[in-house]
Amino acid sequence: MSYLDPLLPLADVLDPVLDPLTVRAVRPILRIVAGPPLRAQRAALRERALPDAIARWSPRIDALAGGSVSEYDATVGAAVADLRGDAEAQVVEGAIERAAHAFDRAWYANDPEWIDDPRLPRDVRVRALDRLDRLNETIGAYEAFFAAIEPLVEHARRSGVECPTLVDLCSGHAMFAVAMALRFGAREGRCRVIATDLVPEYLGIGEAHARRLFLPESALAFVPHDALDLASLPAKIGGPIDVVTCTQSIHHFPPGFVARMLGAGPRRRAAGPCSSTASATPSRGSPSRCSPRSSGAWACPSSTTRSCRSAACSPSKNWR
């Protein structure tokens, strides 16, 4: 597929050597550079645009909850498009923010992802997913997610749940679920992690990795499941859900789907809030907004999905 193909047979030999060296080289740089300046500008701009967009769109979206899925999804999509467009344009300040806004409007494309193409050979997909996992480790994405999720896990434990059940929605290759199980003590019985996805092939990649690490099914289970059907998940996994996470997957789905998924989470967790961390490269400040909330609302570092939070958390039992 590329001029690097002749090196692929050497990957098993080179990766264990090059990966740690890459991490060592990149981490010091990341300590100096908190994040891309345009990304920081985007976050601040979107936060200022959110109140007006929510005030204008929430009544319309709330009125559609539980009705036609297509109409609901179309309205949520229009709300997010308005947030990214006119709502932000009205509050933009200074040349840097204008440049960031223009860049976002020009760059944004909601196209299907190459890695989701069913025609992609399995070995290429496995290789690409493995590289994505190494990328997340290198740039510190997993650490940022852990910082966001840890208060929620501890909140569940303080609520009397000795071994919280963490459900990761849309896990894909489930490498984050594996990392989360190791981080929060699933092997030692301090939590249980459930990785879910609609594509069993993806989960199989993570399951093979987990078993190589001697993580038993009692600590980390892989369950093919629809992220919108959390009502039946407790029965399938044999117990209640305490914390729900969804990391680095939201950009695969249209806004309406994300809103319905966010709405399902808070209604189905038993103890502790839900967390949805959508950003692949969160800024240093983002985890601080993921604190336990007694109301059980989603703590969501991604300002894009937070625009739908009000509507998403409304009852929506009987979609048509």
User: pLDDT value at position 46?
Assistant: 83
pLDDT on residue 92: 87
Cβ–Cβ under 8 Å, residues 244 and 212: no
Interatomic CA distance for residues 304 and 296, integer angstroms: 20
Question: What pLDDT sits at residue 246?
Answer: 87
- Yes or no: say if 308 and 278 are a contact pair by the CB < 8 Å rule: no
**What percent of the chain is modeled with pLDDT above 90?**
30
pLDDT in tens, 160-212: 999 999 999 999 889 999 999 999 999 999 999 999 998 898 899 899 989 99
Q: Which residue has the higher pLDDT, 14 or 119?
A: 119
Q: Give phi and psi for 244, each to the nearest 5.
A: -115, 130
Question: Predicted confidence band at 304 (pLDDT cuts at 50, 70, 90)?
Answer: very low
Lowest mean pLDDT among 63-67, 248-252, 301-305: 301-305
- Taking the C-alpha atoms of residue 6 and residue 3, their distance in angstroms, rounded to an integer, is 7
Give the pLDDT mean for 32-50. Answer: 69
Question: pTM for this one?
Answer: 0.72
Q: Where in the chain is the domain with CATH 3.40.50.150?
A: 114-312
Q: Which CATH class is domain 114-312?
A: alpha beta
Confidence of residue 7 (pLDDT cuts 50, 70, 90): low
Residue 292 vs residues 148, 246, 303: alpha-carbon distances, Å: 10, 16, 18
Alpha-carbon span 248 to 250, nearest angstrom: 6
pLDDT at residue 131 tops 50: yes
For residues 83 and 307, the answer to whether their CB atoms sit within 8 Å is: yes
